[in-house]
Protein backbone atom coordinates (compact mmCIF):
# COMPACT_ATOMS: atom_id res chain seq x y z
CA UNK A 1 0.00 0.00 0.00
CA UNK A 2 3.02 2.24 -0.27
CA UNK A 3 2.36 2.98 -3.93
CA UNK A 4 1.52 6.62 -4.64
CA UNK A 5 -2.11 6.29 -5.80
CA UNK A 6 -2.75 9.76 -4.48
CA UNK A 7 -0.82 11.11 -7.54
CA UNK A 8 -3.46 9.68 -9.94
CA UNK A 9 -5.84 12.49 -10.72
CA UNK A 10 -8.27 12.80 -13.60
CA UNK A 11 -7.66 15.92 -15.63
CA UNK A 12 -11.01 17.57 -16.16
CA UNK A 13 -10.41 19.13 -19.60
CA UNK A 14 -9.15 16.20 -21.66
CA UNK A 15 -10.26 13.29 -19.46
CA UNK A 16 -6.71 11.86 -19.23
CA UNK A 17 -4.98 10.43 -16.17
CA UNK A 18 -2.10 12.64 -15.06
CA UNK A 19 0.20 9.99 -13.70
CA UNK A 20 3.69 9.80 -15.23
CA UNK A 21 3.44 6.01 -15.28
CA UNK A 22 0.33 6.13 -17.54
CA UNK A 23 1.83 8.42 -20.19
CA UNK A 24 1.68 5.76 -22.89
CA UNK A 25 -1.91 4.86 -22.05
CA UNK A 26 -2.85 8.53 -22.26
CA UNK A 27 -1.25 8.91 -25.69
CA UNK A 28 -3.01 5.77 -26.90
CA UNK A 29 -6.36 7.00 -25.61
CA UNK A 30 -5.77 10.38 -27.24
CA UNK A 31 -4.99 8.74 -30.57
CA UNK A 32 -8.07 6.58 -30.31
CA UNK A 33 -10.20 9.66 -29.56
CA UNK A 34 -8.74 11.51 -32.55
CA UNK A 35 -9.42 8.50 -34.77
CA UNK A 36 -13.02 8.29 -33.50
CA UNK A 37 -13.44 12.02 -34.11
CA UNK A 38 -12.14 11.67 -37.68
CA UNK A 39 -14.47 8.73 -38.30
CA UNK A 40 -17.40 10.77 -37.00
CA UNK A 41 -16.47 13.67 -39.29
CA UNK A 42 -16.25 11.27 -42.24
CA UNK A 43 -19.64 9.78 -41.40
CA UNK A 44 -21.11 13.28 -41.11
CA UNK A 45 -19.69 14.22 -44.52
CA UNK A 46 -21.10 11.01 -46.03
CA UNK A 47 -24.51 11.81 -44.55
CA UNK A 48 -24.40 15.33 -45.99
CA UNK A 49 -23.45 13.93 -49.38
CA UNK A 50 -26.30 11.42 -49.25
CA UNK A 51 -28.70 14.20 -48.25
CA UNK A 52 -27.52 16.34 -51.19
CA UNK A 53 -27.96 13.40 -53.56
CA UNK A 54 -31.49 12.84 -52.25
CA UNK A 55 -32.30 16.53 -52.69
CA UNK A 56 -30.96 16.41 -56.25
CA UNK A 57 -33.00 13.30 -57.03
CA UNK A 58 -36.10 14.93 -55.57
CA UNK A 59 -35.56 18.03 -57.70
CA UNK A 60 -35.09 15.89 -60.80
CA UNK A 61 -38.31 14.02 -60.02
CA UNK A 62 -40.20 17.30 -59.59
CA UNK A 63 -38.82 18.54 -62.90
CA UNK A 64 -39.85 15.32 -64.64
CA UNK A 65 -43.31 15.61 -63.09
CA UNK A 66 -43.64 19.20 -64.30
CA UNK A 67 -42.53 18.16 -67.80
CA UNK A 68 -45.12 15.37 -67.79
CA UNK A 69 -47.85 17.79 -66.72
CA UNK A 70 -46.81 20.19 -69.47
CA UNK A 71 -46.87 17.41 -72.05
CA UNK A 72 -50.30 16.34 -70.80
CA UNK A 73 -51.58 19.92 -71.09
CA UNK A 74 -50.18 20.17 -74.61
CA UNK A 75 -51.87 16.91 -75.55
CA UNK A 76 -55.17 18.15 -74.12
CA UNK A 77 -54.81 21.39 -76.07
CA UNK A 78 -54.00 19.50 -79.27
CA UNK A 79 -57.01 17.26 -78.71
CA UNK A 80 -59.26 20.30 -78.21
CA UNK A 81 -57.83 21.91 -81.34
CA UNK A 82 -58.50 18.70 -83.29
CA UNK A 83 -62.10 18.59 -82.05
CA UNK A 84 -62.53 22.25 -82.99
CA UNK A 85 -61.10 21.64 -86.48
CA UNK A 86 -63.36 18.62 -86.86
CA UNK A 87 -66.40 20.71 -85.90
CA UNK A 88 -65.36 23.42 -88.38
CA UNK A 89 -64.91 20.83 -91.10
CA UNK A 90 -68.37 19.42 -90.40
CA UNK A 91 -69.86 22.91 -90.58
CA UNK A 92 -68.05 23.60 -93.87
CA UNK A 93 -69.05 20.31 -95.49
CA UNK A 94 -71.51 20.43 -98.47
CA UNK A 95 -74.11 18.57 -96.44
CA UNK A 96 -74.31 21.49 -94.00
CA UNK A 97 -74.37 24.08 -96.78
CA UNK A 98 -77.59 22.49 -98.02
CA UNK A 99 -79.22 23.14 -94.69
CA UNK A 100 -79.10 19.59 -93.33
CA UNK A 101 -76.30 20.24 -90.87
CA UNK A 102 -76.08 21.44 -87.35
CA UNK A 103 -77.29 24.98 -88.13
CA UNK A 104 -80.93 23.89 -88.42
CA UNK A 105 -82.09 27.31 -89.63
CA UNK A 106 -84.28 28.09 -92.62
CA UNK A 107 -85.73 25.74 -95.17
CA UNK A 108 -83.65 22.91 -96.57
CA UNK A 109 -81.31 23.84 -99.40
CA UNK A 110 -80.78 27.42 -98.21
CA UNK A 111 -78.45 28.98 -95.75
CA UNK A 112 -79.34 31.96 -93.55
CA UNK A 113 -79.05 35.39 -95.12
CA UNK A 114 -75.97 37.38 -94.11
CA UNK A 115 -75.92 41.16 -93.64
CA UNK A 116 -75.12 43.01 -96.86
CA UNK A 117 -76.30 40.13 -99.04
CA UNK A 118 -78.91 40.25 -101.80
CA UNK A 119 -81.23 37.27 -101.14
CA UNK A 120 -82.42 37.09 -104.76
CA UNK A 121 -78.94 36.85 -106.25
CA UNK A 122 -77.04 35.40 -103.31
CA UNK A 123 -74.01 37.70 -103.57
CA UNK A 124 -72.61 40.54 -101.52
CA UNK A 125 -73.80 44.07 -102.21
CA UNK A 126 -70.72 45.63 -100.61
CA UNK A 127 -67.23 44.66 -99.60
CA UNK A 128 -64.05 43.74 -101.43
CA UNK A 129 -65.49 40.64 -103.12
CA UNK A 130 -68.51 42.51 -104.43
CA UNK A 131 -66.35 45.32 -105.82
CA UNK A 132 -63.91 43.01 -107.53
CA UNK A 133 -66.71 40.90 -108.95
CA UNK A 134 -68.44 43.96 -110.45
CA UNK A 135 -65.29 45.28 -112.11
CA UNK A 136 -65.72 42.76 -114.89
CA UNK A 137 -69.32 43.76 -115.65
CA UNK A 138 -68.56 46.68 -117.97
CA UNK A 139 -69.11 50.43 -117.73
CA UNK A 140 -69.59 52.39 -114.53
CA UNK A 141 -73.35 52.63 -114.97
CA UNK A 142 -73.69 48.85 -115.08
CA UNK A 143 -71.53 48.54 -111.96
CA UNK A 144 -73.52 51.14 -110.00
CA UNK A 145 -76.94 49.85 -111.07
CA UNK A 146 -76.67 46.12 -111.82
CA UNK A 147 -79.61 44.48 -113.53
CA UNK A 148 -82.13 42.85 -111.19
**pLDDT for 7-47, tens place per residue?**
555 555 555 555 666 678 888 889 999 999 999 999 999 99
- Quick one: 43 and 106 in the same domain? yes
- Quick one: 90 and 139 in the same domain? no
- Quick one: 106 and 117 in the same domain? no
Model confidence at 93: pLDDT above 70: yes
- Quick one: 147 and 97 in the same domain? no
- Quick one: 105 and 135 in the same domain? no
Mean pLDDT of the chain: 75
CA 39 – CA 33 distance, rounded (Å): 10
Return the pLDDT at 1.
45
- Quick one: 142 and 105 in the same domain? no
> Which residues, 6 or more positions from 105, have their beta carbon under 8 angstroms from its beta carbon?
99, 111, 112
Domain range for residue 129?
A: 113-148
- Quick one: 49 and 9 in the same domain? yes
Amino acid sequence: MDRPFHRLTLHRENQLWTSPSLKYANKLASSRNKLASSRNKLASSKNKLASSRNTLASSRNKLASSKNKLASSRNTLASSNNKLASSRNKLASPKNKQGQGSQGQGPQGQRPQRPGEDPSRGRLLWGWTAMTARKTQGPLEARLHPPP
